[in-house]
Amino acid sequence: MPAATRGYDGGKKVPGRKGRVVTDCLDLLLAVAVTAANVGDRYAARLFDAQEQGATEQRLREIA
Helix H or strand E encompassing 54: helix 41-63
pTM of the model: 0.50
Report pLDDT digits (tens) over 16-52. 777 777 777 888 887 787 777 777 777 777 777 766 6
pLDDT for 5: 64
* Domain map (residue ranges) of the chain: 3-63
- More confident: 9 or 11: 11
Strands (E), 1-64: 7-9, 14-23, 29-36
pLDDT for 3: 55
pLDDT band at 6 (very low <50, low <70, confident <90, very high): low
pLDDT for 9: 62
1-35 burial, b at 16+ Cβ within 10 Å, e below that, comes to eeeeeebebeeeeeeebbeeeeeeeeeeeeeeeeb
